[in-house]
Amino acid sequence: MNENYFAYGIGKHRHQPEMEQLASEIAGSSFEVLFQPHVAPLDVGIMSTIYCEPKEKISADKITELYKNFYKDENFVQVLNTAPMLKDIARTNYCHIYPAVCKDKIVVFSAIDNLIKGASGQAIQNMNIMFGFNETDGLK
């Protein structure tokens, strides 16, 4: 991995179908995404870029507003006004998201610590919810 950086699961990442399923349920119609994660020689963190074709033209301000409204009650999701950086989420349970509009396409950038938010922190968060604890217990 040293001095290496690469995309994996190109065009067929294992999580793409579930993303499309959830997006379709929320949108109320069929929705396709292209999810492209990348791997770099880092101790923690994963950056993803997700490409979507909107059904109608949308502005960057509108897509940001939609994301901020959708995630407003989520303790560990922060919608940013600029591209996320892995150093800001390292060793946290946070997911940083930046939705953008580029050449009339929606492009969503996200960053998580794949060892915490992607695995152990997510398990603790889900356990907290299941057993009626405060969702953030043990995670902040």
Q: Which residues contact 100 (CB under 8 A, 6 or more apart)?
A: 60, 63, 106, 107, 108, 109
User: What percent of the chain clears pLDDT 90, i.e. is strictly above it?
Assistant: 56
Least confident span in 22-26, 35-39, 124-128? 35-39
Global confidence as pTM: 0.83
pLDDT band, residue 96 (cuts 50/70/90): very high
pLDDT of residue 108: 95
Across the range 65-88, mean pLDDT stands at 96
Q: Which residues contact 68 (CB under 8 A, 6 or more apart)?
A: 79
> Which tokens belong to 12?
């067929």
Q: Which domains does the chain have, with CATH numbers?
A: 6-114 (3.30.360.10)
pLDDT of residue 100: 97
